[in-house]
């Protein structure tokens, strides 16, 4: 038997980090001096928000993503907190909505003007009062709109429904009180039906977020967890922390069995907290340490040894925190698969760092950009609170594409969401829905007394299939915009078909004319 080297082929083997030039960085940003172990920065395709140092309360800065270069030292801030801001998170379904939490024991939700922050904002859209001590961490629900989770130094995890009409909300819809110490991180699985937390007691817990029931808890003493992260659809958890000998390490867990880690690896002997980031589309894991200048990246597989080291990005400038751009904000023409925004305190600099897959062609690469989570919620807050679970609404990153579909419908999961990232979603028949709705409206106008005209309900388009359920009109601006975009896409497609038919008709007319001319010449 001959010996063979164990090579593993991967399309992400040569991924490299490309830092932005000085002109494309954000210079002169007064980054906070807080030692709180959070990312301190949040990014979406329109804005970048960073917690800043200021006197007389807490504040954060909101800049346009395109506003690179030197930042005005007197740039207006969002400054409505009475204590230092500890965490900020953009609403995944609204690019103009951001939540912040502070040492003043409150959580506030802000509306950002479309043109950006032109003057200091001190009045929030919502103020959430319920914690008795400072609030250190907030997370939005990944698929339900207007559901926000917060946790603080009172050891409570509170669930807030922002659909309430009140501007000051004092009663959360649920309070989870199972942690004996401060919660250090929270992470949801892909449909938001499970919540994983890491606590200062170094344990990982899996919780049912609706009921607050504890489902799993680690008892391993060889790994003291600091941060925890769900790995998409792989049914695994990843945690970063320290070993018994205070070495920084990562550990992989089966979400159904937290008794022992499936994989464990010591990284180094530094002391900074390790922040994990995972891309479910490429199955790439990024590990960035607070105070480090490097970012390691790995590829995750569903079979042993699970974690495959690729390489690392190195810089001489240490990062205090970082933000991550959602996939819909990446530059697909340059084969960018991930983008960090590194906070470099020693230079008051925010440095964009693009992770790029080297390809010769500048065309859209479908193999590295499968359907990904979009900006439309899969359900409302009321639906989630009533017990419904849905996966994210998927979108294509192909320029000009507006095709969307549900990743999961109820308890039925799409078979196309395979591990290799290849996803195929049938195009919903929106034209049939519009025709059915117009026919029903016409029938109801002509025969208002006909009971059958009121019993007819249009078919809802879900996951590319027609289901005989009632289709309610859009209730929010986002839903109305989504329907509008789908209709525009359908109209554009029909116009293309008509143009093709017009061209074909002209061709046939010319052929007929040529035949007649040839016959007359004979």
C-alpha closest to that of 432 among 482, 391, 468, 478: 468
Task: Count how many Cα atoms sit within 13 Å of the Cα of residue 402 in the half-sphere of its side chain.
Answer: 15
Spatial separation of the C-alpha atoms in residues 470 and 491, rounded to whole Å: 24
Claim to verify: residue 352 and residue 493 sit in the same structural domain: no
pLDDT band at 477 (very low <50, low <70, confident <90, very high): confident
Parallel, antiparallel, or unpaired: how do β-strands 412-413 and 372-373 relate?
A: unpaired
338 Cβ contact list (under 8 Å, min separation 6): 277, 279, 282, 284, 286, 324, 325, 330, 354, 355
pLDDT band at 520 (very low <50, low <70, confident <90, very high): confident
429 lies in a domain? Answer: no
Domain boundary among 363, 395, 427: 395
458 Cβ contact list (under 8 Å, min separation 6): 433, 436, 437, 440, 470, 471
pLDDT band at 406 (very low <50, low <70, confident <90, very high): low
Claim to verify: residue 390 and residue 483 sit in the same structural domain: no
C-alpha closest to that of 197 among 175, 224, 226, 221: 226
* Residue 144 per-residue DSSP state: B
Give the residue with greater pLDDT, 495 vs 4: 495
336 lies in a domain? Answer: yes
**Rounded average pLDDT over 178-194:** 96
* pLDDT at site 221: 86
Q: Rounded to 5 degrees, what angle do the CA atoms 327, 378, 50 make?
A: 45
pLDDT band at 438 (very low <50, low <70, confident <90, very high): low
- The CA distances from residue 84 to 65, 343, 454, 497, in Å, are 24, 18, 56, 58
Q: What's the total number of domains in the chain? A: 2
Claim to verify: residue 126 and residue 237 sit in the same structural domain: yes
Residue 405 near residue 417, CB atoms below 8 Å? no
* pLDDT at site 431: 44
Spatial separation of the C-alpha atoms in residues 231 and 278, rounded to whole Å: 7
292 Cβ contact list (under 8 Å, min separation 6): 270, 272, 318, 319
Claim to verify: residue 270 and residue 140 sit in the same structural domain: yes
Model pLDDT for residues 31-52, shown as the tens digit of each residue: 999 889 999 999 999 999 999 9
- The CA distances from residue 107 to 82, 113, 150, in Å, are 11, 20, 8
Spatial separation of the C-alpha atoms in residues 466 and 469, rounded to whole Å: 9
Domain boundary among 375, 395, 415: 395
440 lies in a domain? Answer: no
CA 19 to chain centre: 22
Tokens representing residue 494 in the block = 């029909």
282 lies in a domain? Answer: yes
389 lies in a domain? Answer: yes
Q: What is the 3-class SS of 252-295, one letter each residue?
A: EEECCECCCCCEEEEEECCCCCEEEEEECCCCEEEEEECCCCEE
* pLDDT at site 121: 96
Domain boundary among 395, 418, 436: 395
Asked if residue 373 has pLDDT above 90, the reply is yes
Tokens representing residue 185 in the block = 């991180």
* Residue 370 per-residue DSSP state: -
List phi, psi (to 5°) of 453: -70, -25
C-alpha closest to that of 15 among 312, 389, 227: 312
Claim to verify: residue 178 and residue 67 sit in the same structural domain: yes
Q: Tell me the sheet residues that pair with 405.
A: 394
* pLDDT at site 175: 97
Q: Tell me the sheet residues that pair with 413.
A: 408
Claim to verify: residue 491 and residue 370 sit in the same structural domain: no
Spatial separation of the C-alpha atoms in residues 413 and 463, rounded to whole Å: 10
* pLDDT at site 125: 96
Model pLDDT for residues 261-312, shown as the tens digit of each residue: 999 999 999 989 999 999 999 999 999 999 999 999 999 998 888 999 999 9
Claim to verify: residue 59 and residue 175 sit in the same structural domain: yes
Task: Count how many Cα atoms sit within 13 Å of the Cα of residue 151 in the half-sphere of its side chain.
Answer: 26
- Among the ranges 166-180, 398-412, 493-507, which has the highest mean pLDDT value? 166-180
C-alpha closest to that of 28 among 74, 69, 71, 68: 71
Claim to verify: residue 385 and residue 509 sit in the same structural domain: no
* pLDDT at site 486: 79
Q: What percent of the chain has pLDDT over 70?
A: 84
Annotate 154-209 with DSSP letters as a single string: TS-EEEEETTSS-SEE---SEEE---SS-EEEEEE-TTSS-EEEEETTS-EEEEET
Claim to verify: residue 213 and residue 315 sit in the same structural domain: yes
5 lies in a domain? Answer: no
452 lies in a domain? Answer: no
Residue 286 near residue 273, CB atoms below 8 Å? no
Tracing tokens 């339900």 back to the chain, one arrives at: 144
**Rounded average pLDDT over 488-505:** 82
Range of the structural domain that residue 59 is part of: 16-395
């Amino acid at each position: 038997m001959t010996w063979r080297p164990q090579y593993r082929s991967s399309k992400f083997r040569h991924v490299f980090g490309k830092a932005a030039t000085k002109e494309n960085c954000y210079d002169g940003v007064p980054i906070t001096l807080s030692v709180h172990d959070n990312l301190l920065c949040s990014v979406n395709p329109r804005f970048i928000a960073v917690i800043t140092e200021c006197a007389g309360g807490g504040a954060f800065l909101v800049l346009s993503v395109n506003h690179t270069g030197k930042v005005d030292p007197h740039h207006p801030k969002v400054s409505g907190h009475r204590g230092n801001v500890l965490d900020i998170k953009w609403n995944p379904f609204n690019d103009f909505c951001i939540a912040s939490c502070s040492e003043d024991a409150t959580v506030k939700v802000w509306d950002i003007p479309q043109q950006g922050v032109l003057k200091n904002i001190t009045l929030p859209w919502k103020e959430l009062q319920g914690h008795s001590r400072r609030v250190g961490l907030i997370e939005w629900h990944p698929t339900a709109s207007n559901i926000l989770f917060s946790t603080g130094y009172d050891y409570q995890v509170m669930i807030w429904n922002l659909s309430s009409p009140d501007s000051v909300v004092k009663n959360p819809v649920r309070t989870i009180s199972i942690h004996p110490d401060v919660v250090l991180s929270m992470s949801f699985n892909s449909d938001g039906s499970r919540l994983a937390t890491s606590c200062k007691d170094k344990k990982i817990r899996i919780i049912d977020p609706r009921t607050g029931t504890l489902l799993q808890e680690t008892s391993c003493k060889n790994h003291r967890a600091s941060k925890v992260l769900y790995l998409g659809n792989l049914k695994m958890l990843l945690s970063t922390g320290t070993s018994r000998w205070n070495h920084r390490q990562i550990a992989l867990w089966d979400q159904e069995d937290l008794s022992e880690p499936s994989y464990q690896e010591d990284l180094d002997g530094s002391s900074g907290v390790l922040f994990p980031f995972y891309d479910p589309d490429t199955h790439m894991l990024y590990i960035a340490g607070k105070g480090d200048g490097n970012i390691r990246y790995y590829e995750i597989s569903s079979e042993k040894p699970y974690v495959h080291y690729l390489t690392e990005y190195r810089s001489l400038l240490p990062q205090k925190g970082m933000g991550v751009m959602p996939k819909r904000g990446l530059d697909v023409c340059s084969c960018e698969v991930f983008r960090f925004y590194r906070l470099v305190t020693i230079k008051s600099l925010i440095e964009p760092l693009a992770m790029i897959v080297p390809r010769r062609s500048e065309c859209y690469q479908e193999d590295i950009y499968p359907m990904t989570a979009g900006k439309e919620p899969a359900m409302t807050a009321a639906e989630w609170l009533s017990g419904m679970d849905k996966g994210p609404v998927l979108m294509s990153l192909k320029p000009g594409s507006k095709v969307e579909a549900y990743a999961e419908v109820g308890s039925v999961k799409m078979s196309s969401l395979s591990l290799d990232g290849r996803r195929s979603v049938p195009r919903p028949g929106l034209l049939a829905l519009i025709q059915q709705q117009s026919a029903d409206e016409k029938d109801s106008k002509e025969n208002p007394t006909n009971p059958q005209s009121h019993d007819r309900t249009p078919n809802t388009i879900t996951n590319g299939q027609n289901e005989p359920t009632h289709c309610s009109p859009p209730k929010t601006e986002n839903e109305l915009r989504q329907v509008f975009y789908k209709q525009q896409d359908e109209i554009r497609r029909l116009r293309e078909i008509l143009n093709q038919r017009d061209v074909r008709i002209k061709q046939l007319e010319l052929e007929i004319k040529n035949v007649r001319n040839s016959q007359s010449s004979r």
